Amino acid sequence: MTTATGPQVGVTLYSYTNEWLTRQFDLPGLMQEVANREQGPNIEIIGFQNFKEFPDVSDDFAAKFKDLVAETGLNPVSCAINSDRFLKPGQQPIEDVALVEYHKRQLRSAKKMGFSLVRYQFALPVHLLPEIAPYAEEIDIRMGVEVHAPMWAGHPAVQAYAEMYDKLDTPVLGWIPDFGGTASRIPESMLDAARAAGASEDLLDKLKEVWLEDGMSHEKAGRLREWALTNGHAPAHIQAASLAFFILSNNDPKSWAQLVDRTIHIHGKFYGVDDDGVEEAIDYETILPLFRDGGFTGTIVSEWEGHAYDTRDAFEQVRRHQAMCRRILAS
């Protein structure tokens, strides 16, 4: 393992969701491909995407995974876990005690497989952190809550977590910024996908206008929907245009400065890096120096989410993104 002297660049296997879902690779094959293409060694894996035994990984599987890590030379940095509270649609969420145990099961599995931290979610009510953090301390694994759109440093939920972090004052708790919360624009590739699905230019112009307005994501999606139905747009076109509301927000990229100190890992969210090495929607030139100069020495994992609307080659996108990150970090 390298000695960290600045931010490291790695990848989350989530970037290769299309290649995974179409069964082009099994887990050993995918990890070997990542290693062959030198897109690691630091990686993140979503427990519920790549591990069939999740949330309760057996000793046997954990041993096999460790062998695979050794063979490929990859470094399992982060395991993404989930706060699945609503197990019965339309009914009440599960009891707090069950949700706490659900987190502990996933922490235990991640630790057993050799991950050094987990990504967790704001769907975990903040008042349960005092019950989970001591367990993370006991088994020695860090937990980073993912600050994902529509969240950003100034969001009330982030502030509530920050207060709890101050109170608990433990090194095992931190942030995982996801840059989708501070996008400067809607990616052109996402608009192109909506065009391909039949959305017209006036609908996309209205989308761009409403996306920049204030309000919660679902409110803005509702606003666009109402306008679009009144103006004769088909529900399928509205659906194609509305994806942007749920995965991207346009908060100030400089706002990440407030979270640098407790950042333990980063999701380098991106949609497409062009031939000049510039990401379509997210202003990396502004964001990355905040973390570099703020002393962050963890990993920025390339997280290509274009697969939500596009079937471009994920490996090529990750290659471009990592080259861009290295260029900016070295500047």
State the DSSP code for 250: B
8 A C-beta contact, residue 151 and residue 122: yes
The minimum distance between CB 98 and other proteins, in angstroms, equals 9
Q: Return d(Cα 64, Cα 223) in angstroms, integer.
A: 50
Q: Is there binding between residue 21 and other proteins (CB under 8 A)?
A: yes
The minimum distance between CB 89 and other proteins, in angstroms, equals 4
The minimum distance between CB 43 and other proteins, in angstroms, equals 16
The minimum distance between CB 52 and other proteins, in angstroms, equals 4
Helices (H), the chain: 17-21, 27-36, 47-50, 59-72, 96-112, 129-139, 156-168, 188-196, 201-211, 217-230, 235-247, 284-293, 314-330
Q: Which of 15, 83, 109, 322 binds other proteins (CB under 8 A)?
A: 83
Identify residues 37-56 at the interface with other proteins (CB under 8 A): 46, 48-49, 52, 54-55
Rg (Cα) of the chain, in Å, rounded? 20
State the DSSP code for 57: -
Q: Is there binding between residue 20 and other proteins (CB under 8 A)?
A: yes
Q: Which residues contact 214 (CB under 8 A, 6 or more apart)?
A: none
The minimum distance between CB 286 and other proteins, in angstroms, equals 29
Q: Using the minimum distance from each CB to other proteins, give the nearer residue, 20 or 271.
A: 20
Residues in contact with other proteins, counted by CB under 8 A, come to a total of 30
Q: Return d(Cα 164, Cα 167) in angstroms, integer.
A: 5
Q: Which of 36, 311, 316, 323 binds other proteins (CB under 8 A)?
A: 311
Task: Return the number of other C-beta atoms located less than 10 Å from residue 246's C-beta.
Answer: 15
Binding mask 85-104 for other proteins (x = CB under 8 A): xxxxx---xx----------
Does the bond joining 130 to the residue before it have cis omega, within 30 degrees of 0? no
Q: Which stretch binds other proteins (CB under 8 A): 149-157, 250-258, 270-278, 303-311?
A: 303-311
Phi-psi region of 212 (alpha: psi -120 to 50; beta: other; left: phi over 0): alpha
Identify residues 201-260 at the interface with other proteins (CB under 8 A): none
Tokens of 46: 């979503």
Q: Give the orientation angle of helix 27-36 with respect to helix 59-72, to 10 degrees.
A: 20
The minimum distance between CB 88 and other proteins, in angstroms, equals 6
Q: Using the minimum distance from each CB to other proteins, give the nearer residue, 29 or 73.
A: 29
Q: Which of 37, 100, 101, 121 binds other proteins (CB under 8 A)?
A: 121
Q: Return d(Cα 171, Cα 157) in angstroms, integer.
A: 20
Q: Which stretch binds other proteins (CB under 8 A): 137-145, 269-277, 304-312, 315-323?
A: 304-312
Q: Return d(Cα 331, Cα 311) in angstroms, integer.
A: 32
Tokens of 143: 């937990």
The minimum distance between CB 122 and other proteins, in angstroms, equals 9
Q: Using the minimum distance from each CB to other proteins, give the nearer residue, 8 or 303.
A: 303
The minimum distance between CB 75 and other proteins, in angstroms, equals 22
Residues making contact with other proteins (CB under 8 A): 14, 17-18, 20-23, 26, 46, 48-49, 52, 54-55, 82-89, 93-94, 121, 123, 307-309, 311
